[in-house]
Amino acid sequence: MENPFVSTETETSVLTPEALGKEIFEGKGMCATCHKADVETSGPSIKDISKIYTDKKASISLFLQGEMDPIVDPSQYEIMKANLEITKAMTEAELQALETYMLSIK
C-alpha cells in the first residue's frame, strides 16, 4: 500500500526553488498584492527590484530578514517594512526560494 506521507514529501522536493518562490510570493507571503511582474503598483515591479539587486549583487534574502537597508526605493521603505514581520518568520529555504523567483523575472 502506498504511504501518503512519502508521496507528499516527494512532491514537495520536486518543486523547484523558483516554483516554490512563486507559490509563496502569490500565496502566504501576499507579496503579489503590491508587486507585479513589470508594472509599478503600490510597490516597485519585480523586474525593477530584480535588476537593481542583480546589478548591485545584493541579497534579497538578507533584506527580507531585516539585515540590510533598502536599496530600491528607501523613501517608501515604511510600507515594505511591515512585511518583514512575515518574511522574518520564514525559513532560509523559503527566503532563498523567494529570492530565486524574484531574480528569475527580468
Q: Please give the residue ranges that form the binding site for ligand HEC (CB under 6 A).
A: 29-31, 33-35, 42-44, 49, 60, 63-64, 70-73, 76-77, 79-80, 83, 86-87, 98
For residues 92 and 76, give the distance between their C-alpha atoms in angstroms, rounded to a whole number: 26
Q: Which is nearer to ligand HEC, 2 or 15 (CB)?
A: 15
Q: Which is nearer to ligand HEC, 22 or 35 (CB)?
A: 35
Q: Which is nearer to ligand HEC, 7 or 88 (CB)?
A: 88
CB within 8 Å of 68: residues ≥ 6 apart: 58, 59, 62
Write down the least CB distance from residue 90 to ligand HEC, Å.
8
C-alpha cell at 59: 541579497
* Closest among 62, 59, 55 to 87, alpha carbons compared: 62
